[in-house]
Structure 1
Amino acid sequence: MNSQASPTLMSQTSVAPDAPLNIALLGYRSAPHSGGQGIYLKYLSRSLARRGHKVTVISGPPYPQLDPEVTLVRLPSLDLYEHGLRSIRPIQLLSRLERIEWVSKLTGGFAEPYTFGERVKCWFVGRESEFDIIHDNQTIADGILSLQHRGLPLVTTIHHPITKDYRVALAAEPRWYMRLLIHRWHSFLRMQKRVAPQLQSVVTVSGASATDISDDFNVDRSAISVMHLGVDTELFRPMPEMEREPHRLMTTASADAPLKGLAILLRAIATLRSSYPDIRLTLVGRPKPGGDTEKLIASLGIGDVVESCKGISHEEMVQKYASASVAVVPSIYEGFGLPAVEAMACGVPLVSTDGGALAEVVADAGLVVPAGDSEALAAAIHQLFEDDQLRDDYASRGLSRAEQHFCWNRCAERMEAYYRERIAAC
């Protein structure tokens, strides 16, 4: 790292080979319902703590749900996406960072990565020697980069470059004014594109993401290490006591995010309905009222087919997997594809697209079709509906793959070795 760092900062890197580490994990939004980033912090912090390390999670709101042995440091923000623009008190505008958040939200932007990075930079002043390693989860902000410049051992996980979301959202939106809003919301990418090439230690979750990060963020491929995510196999598990409903599909998707490919699945269901009048879809995620997904469901005439739910517990999600005959991951792009692994761990036969890392993650444990092809998706679902033995075969393959390849304990073991390597390099 920075060879000009002061002796005080560098002294923290003298760590015995097997000594427990003091680890700081950073996340600007870390609640499990915030998506894969929140799940990543929850399970990585748990697994590292169980290996005997002292783990501190430093997070902006919404805050994570952590195990008791993991310390949580809260760095409050306005959290305007939860509370709205009118929640602010005039005195709060005296703060530069809160003014930035308010004006950004007012004009359609997303300032949280930048403002969280600035708060982290300030929080670490005087605390530089408290941690052996700092691990940022996708913030990729100026303030986080400053820690590296100060000589602190820094690792950054980039799940995938958000440039992918940006391009897919633009391609799916024909209205010029909405395209302007999409461009405005993704303006934080300018910062991330500037910061990412300067990061010396980058971790990502798949080979496909590593290639995309190198291409889109101009990060040296040799600086990127690939470590697959895990799945909680104690929670996501088969429930053989529950009966599967014939022709019931299960998917988890941010319903109005084009990247998740829900529109492709809905069109496939409309194609299949004539052959399977009792076809049903359990959608974990609720369409925006009056949004594009609701309009598409109405235009396809499948309003009675789609049963959506949001805010359910993981245990309830496992029960819904257990009642489905086929799980579907229709995404246009995934940096990893945690829903695919969760479905496999539940022993549900899987149909997945090859978007992003999905072909890498699913391999031969599911039926894989081209991303964006509703006809291919319908054909694969039809194939599984018609063949009991094939469903059993893919259910068994998926369960075996989840158990053998996607384990949080193995992920934490590899991450610990990587931390020690990076500490030694400082």
Structure 2
Amino acid sequence: MNIGIDALMIDDKPTGIGWYGINLINSIDKVVDQSLNINVYIQEKAKMYFKDINNINLKIVGNFKSNKERICYQQIKMASIFKKDKIDFVHFIDYLIPIFFNKIPYVITIHDLSFYEKNFFNISKSLFKRIITKISINRSKAIICDSNWTKKCIEDKFNITDKVYTVYLGYDKIYKRLKVQDERIMDNIRNKYRIKNKYILFVGTIEPRKNLYNLIKAFNKISKSVEHQLIVVGKKGWMFENVLKLVENLKLENKIIFTDYIDNVEMLYLYNNADISVYPSIYEGFGIPPLEAMACGSPVVVSNVTSLPEVVGDAALLVDPFNVDDIADKIYKVISDRNLNNTLREKSVIQANKFSWGKCAMETLDIYLKVGGLKDEFN
């Protein structure tokens, strides 16, 4: 069976969905059944993330200067490429199928339905996502979701009772609790990003649904009572200006550090040395950063909504993301209570070990085999 995986959305600085594709594809390469011939379509600049591929075929499809250029290419060109390569069915690691793509069966991964919520995206982007998603769901043979939360949202919203599967994500095994650290690396990180004291860590794109606005308000409430800085790791997204303005208005420029995008090694050390990692997101389809933080033994505080409780189990403190006082109180509690801090560190590692990309890959292949009618051959 000839299977295609459309992974064109992966660029040279991947975030959540990009890392999903990278780790899923590399893990599938390690466990793929010989009955499947898998072709992965990527950009030239994403090759660096697939250096050890042996059992699947990488297909380089140009480079794109913007998401808009990439989406146009997917909509106009990809259907003919799949046809030329005699692909039996395609897995789109995001929901962006070509609108006129209706002859070859396909599987889609829908990470969340946040574009149906208010204030998470601009109107035009939200409308585009809704149109494409509805078409994708109606025509798909199978829908993969990152969490039971997203699965239920799709089933309820689109009145679907079958073909929707939950496949939990994993985390890159570079993220682990370091028993021995290279102090030079951490010293360089501290100097590079002006980290002077203990710190609270947030990882995620600066956009409304990540709820950084309320996190900063909560941090402001405790900032005079603790020596900690707040480190914000992530790209600037939609409406990031509001967050920067809030920092300025609260005069927290010296206590809040914005690093932008950083590499895995620096991220590993930041997780390991954080006094606490906080993710007060309003809406998450899964939440890889909390999982990475837990794998590194960081105490974690997350929102009590959407998928996040599924990811953290009983290994984290949950907060109401709309209640600034609750966020501030829980952060302060973890910082000030060292017994609680240490307990959460131990629980975090145990919880993180329940997730892996290998398991994600095997369950995804299982769905491929169901779609291709080869399920009985998969054991």
Q: What interval of TM-score do these two structures reach, taking the shorter chain for normalisation?
A: 0.7 to 0.9
Are 2:75 and 1:117 aligned?
A: yes
Residue 291 of structure 1, CA deviation: 1.6
Are 2:349 and 1:387 aligned?
A: no
SS state of the match for residue 307, structure 1?
strand
Separation in 1 of the partners of 2:137 and 2:251? Answer: 45
Separation in 2 of the partners of 1:349 and 1:290? Answer: 26
Q: 1:72 to 1:117 in 2, by over 3 A?
A: farther
Are 2:52 and 1:76 aligned?
A: no
Are 2:176 and 1:237 aligned?
A: yes
Task: Give the equivalent residue in structure 2 for 1:322.
Answer: 272
SS state of the match for residue 225, structure 1?
strand
Task: Give the equivalent residue in structure 1 for 2:164.
Answer: 224
Separation in 2 of the partners of 1:287 and 1:126? Answer: 38
SS state of the match for residue 155, structure 1?
strand
Task: Give the equivalent residue in structure 2 for 1:284.
Answer: 233
SS state of the match for residue 168, structure 1?
coil
Task: Give the equivalent residue in structure 2 for 1:161.
Answer: 113
Give runs of aligned pairs for residues 258-273 of structure 1, distance below 5 A. 258-273=208-223
Residue 422 of structure 1, CA deviation: 1.5
Residue 154 of structure 1, CA deviation: 2.0
SS state of the match for residue 222, structure 1?
coil
Task: Give the equivalent residue in structure 1 for 2:50.
Answer: 66
Task: Give the equivalent residue in structure 2 for 1:300.
Answer: 250
Q: 1:219 to 1:425 in 2, by over 3 A?
A: farther
Separation in 2 of the partners of 1:413 and 1:309? Answer: 35
Normalised to the residue count of structure 2, the TM-score between the two structures is 0.85
Q: 1:279 to 1:204 in 2, by over 3 A?
A: same
Task: Give the equivalent residue in structure 1 for 2:143.
Answer: 202
Q: 1:222 to 1:412 in 2, by over 3 A?
A: same
Give runs of aligned pairs for residues 179-198 of structure 1, distance below 5 A. 182-189=122-129, 190-198=131-139
From 389, 409, 424, the counterpart of 2:358: 409
- Opposite residue 253 of structure 1, the aligned amino acid is G
Separation in 1 of the partners of 2:159 and 2:63? Answer: 30
Q: What do residues 247-274 of structure 1 show as CA deviations (whole Å, max 9, x unaligned)? A: 411111212x101111111111100112
Task: Give the equivalent residue in structure 1 for 2:13.
Answer: 33
- Opposite residue 76 of structure 1, the aligned amino acid is G
Residue 133 of structure 1, CA deviation: 4.4
Contact 1:55 1:71 in 2 (8 A): yes
Q: 1:50 to 1:78 in 2, by over 3 A?
A: closer
Task: Give the equivalent residue in structure 2 for 1:424.
Answer: 373
Separation in 2 of the partners of 1:412 and 1:169? Answer: 30
Contact 1:280 1:305 in 2 (8 A): yes
SS state of the match for residue 68, structure 1?
coil
Separation in 2 of the partners of 1:78 and 1:31? Answer: 9
SS state of the match for residue 375, structure 1?
helix
Q: 1:272 to 1:287 in 2, by over 3 A?
A: farther
- Opposite residue 93 of structure 2, the aligned amino acid is N
Separation in 1 of the partners of 2:45 and 2:256? Answer: 29
Task: Give the equivalent residue in structure 1 for 2:205.
Answer: 254
From 343, 346, 349, the counterpart of 1:396: 346
Contact 1:253 1:262 in 2 (8 A): no
Contact 1:247 1:385 in 2 (8 A): no
Q: What do residues 339-388 of structure 1 show as CA deviations (whole Å, max 9, x unaligned)? A: 01000101000001123200111121100111222211111111111211
Q: 1:188 to 1:27 in 2, by over 3 A?
A: farther
From 311, 314, 319, the counterpart of 1:369: 319
Normalised to the residue count of structure 1, the TM-score between the two structures is 0.76
Task: Give the equivalent residue in structure 2 for 1:44.
Answer: 24
- Opposite residue 123 of structure 1, the aligned amino acid is I
Contact 1:32 1:39 in 2 (8 A): no
Q: 1:411 to 1:290 in 2, by over 3 A?
A: closer
Task: Give the equivalent residue in structure 2 for 1:56.
Answer: 39
Separation in 1 of the partners of 2:59 and 2:147? Answer: 29
Separation in 2 of the partners of 1:287 and 1:379? Answer: 27
Residue 226 of structure 1, CA deviation: 0.2
Residue 119 of structure 1, CA deviation: 1.7
Contact 2:213 2:246 in 1 (8 A): yes
Q: 1:219 to 1:161 in 2, by over 3 A?
A: farther
Contact 2:316 2:344 in 1 (8 A): yes
SS state of the match for residue 142, structure 1?
coil
Q: How many residues align?
A: 355
Residue 62 of structure 1, CA deviation: 5.9
Separation in 2 of the partners of 1:259 and 1:340? Answer: 15
What is the percent sequence identity of the aligned residues?
22
Contact 1:252 1:283 in 2 (8 A): yes
Contact 1:252 1:285 in 2 (8 A): yes
Contact 1:29 1:61 in 2 (8 A): no
Contact 1:349 1:391 in 2 (8 A): yes
